[in-house]
């Protein structure tokens, strides 16, 4: 698989949380491969396991109560599963970094924004703290914040600007892979556009690979090259933008597209997906989408496997074993 020049290669990731109320199966045998320089959107509802997957990639799952199992996890050919704590600390922030959802709480209120950026630089690059602070000012300017503000505290910034600071921290050491967990969900729509624009430009500049976690298909279309749709702890469909948007295969993905309001057809009713995601402490055997799927059949009660549609596109749905099966959504 190395001819593909992967930045991330994960095979069979399983994460569960053992709590007093039961075992929460958050991620169930996930495979993920990302090519260098590409941006992949990780789409799914709340509870699908997107954030857990991201935290697991950074090895930040709290243990207890978390329990992780993985066959294979390599970041640019570095085996993540074998690293010691110290080695992991070196990798975090330098080779792989993460932006979290809520900018309001992501920054430490008692340190200046300049210091928080400089800390990352000072940790990973071989420069003095003064140098790091200068570089931090540079990063601030890069994300569109005047450098003089480096000595100000987080509470003196608006939500959108705080998120820019968070981006500055994450990109300060030019990581190879950036994971962005719903970075614009907590922001106004206009600010959202600005932040996305900023992320696009920085990606281009530093050639950073990106995992964009979101529930918003619009953002995926804006900024990503590939899409992976997650449901109940696993990827049910993955392909290029073209593949997934125009040649949708999985019934769940179809349901997601159908539930988007159609601006051209104001009179039509919204068609949400019936039912709710299965209880992660009590997952059914077989396909987790079974109870909500309009195409459910007998084969759905059996454990599902990935089915390759094309070089770039696969779907996890046993219905495609049935002769002549196709979903209603038309190909474009």
Which positions lie near another protein, rule CB under 8 A? 58, 60, 85-86, 88-94, 97-98, 100, 102, 105-111, 119-120, 123-124, 153, 155-156, 166, 169-170
Pick between residue 88 and residue 193 the one whose CB is nearest to another protein. 88
Least Å distance between CB 74 and another protein?
A: 19
Least Å distance between CB 95 and another protein?
A: 9
SS3 330: coil
> What are residue 57's phi and psi, to 5 degrees?
-65, -30
Pick between residue 123 and residue 193 the one whose CB is nearest to another protein. 123
Least Å distance between CB 26 and another protein?
A: 17
Pick between residue 123 and residue 241 the one whose CB is nearest to another protein. 123
Pick between residue 185 and residue 290 the one whose CB is nearest to another protein. 185
What whole-number distance in Å separates Cα of residue 79 and Cα of residue 41?
A: 23
**Residue among 323, 248, 327 nearest 294 (CA):** 327
Pick between residue 107 and residue 220 the one whose CB is nearest to another protein. 107
Spell 208-229 as b/e; 16+ CB within 10 A means b: bbbbbbbbbbebbebbbbbbbb
Least Å distance between CB 154 and another protein?
A: 9
Pairing status of strand 39-43 against strand 226-231: parallel
Least Å distance between CB 228 and another protein?
A: 21
Least Å distance between CB 99 and another protein?
A: 9
Pick between residue 72 and residue 111 the one whose CB is nearest to another protein. 111
DSSP 256-296: HHHTS--TT-TTSPP-PPSS-PPPTTSPPSS-TTGGG-TT-
- C-alpha distances in angstroms, 146 versus 9, 153, 200? 38, 14, 20
Radius of gyration of the chain (CA): 21
What whole-number distance in Å separates Cα of residue 219 and Cα of residue 11?
A: 27
Pick between residue 83 and residue 193 the one whose CB is nearest to another protein. 83
Least Å distance between CB 141 and another protein?
A: 20
What whole-number distance in Å separates Cα of residue 148 and Cα of residue 117?
A: 14
Q: Is the peptide bond before 252 cis (omega within 30 degrees of 0)?
A: no
Two tokens, residue 74: 């390599």
């Amino acid at each position: 698989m190395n001819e593909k020049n992967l930045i991330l290669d994960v095979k069979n990731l399983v994460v569960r949380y053992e709590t007093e109320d039961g075992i929460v199966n958050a991620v169930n045998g996930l495979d993920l491969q990302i090519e260098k320089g590409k941006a992949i959107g990780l789409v799914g509802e709340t509870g699908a396991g997107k954030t857990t997957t991201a935290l697991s990639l950074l090895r930040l799952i709290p243990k207890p109560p978390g329990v992780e199992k993985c066959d294979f996890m390599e970041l640019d050919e570095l085996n993540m599963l074998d690293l010691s704590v110290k080695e992991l600390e070196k990798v975090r922030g330098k080779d792989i970094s993460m932006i979290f959802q809520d900018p309001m709480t992501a920054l430490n209120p008692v340190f200046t924004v300049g210091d928080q950026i400089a800390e990352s630089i000072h940790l990973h690059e071989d420069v003095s703290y003064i140098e790091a602070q200068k570089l931090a000012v540079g990063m601030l300017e890069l994300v569109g914040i005047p450098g003089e503000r480096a000595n100000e505290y987080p509470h003196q910034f608006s939500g959108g600007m705080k998120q820019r600071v968070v981006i500055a921290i994450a990109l300060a050491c030019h990581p190879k892979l950036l994971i962005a967990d719903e970075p614009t969900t907590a922001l106004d729509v206009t600010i959202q556009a600005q932040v996305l624009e900023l992320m696009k430009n920085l990606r281009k500049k530093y050639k950073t690979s990106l995992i964009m976690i979101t529930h918003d298909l619009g953002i995926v279309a804006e900024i990503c090259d590939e899409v992976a749709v997650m449901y109940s702890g696993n990827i049910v469909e993955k392909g290029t933008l073209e593949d997934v948007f125009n040649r949708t295969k999985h019934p769940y993905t179809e349901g997601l597209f159908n539930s988007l309001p159609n601006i051209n057809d104001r009179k039509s009713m919204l068609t949400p997906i019936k039912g709710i995601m299965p209880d992660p402490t009590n997952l059914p055997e077989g396909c987790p989408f079974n109870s909500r799927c309009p195409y459910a059949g007998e084969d759905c009660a059996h454990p599902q496997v990935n089915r390759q549609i094309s070089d770039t596109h696969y779907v996890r749905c046993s219905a495609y074993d049935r002769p002549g099966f196709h979903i209603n959504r038309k190909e474009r």
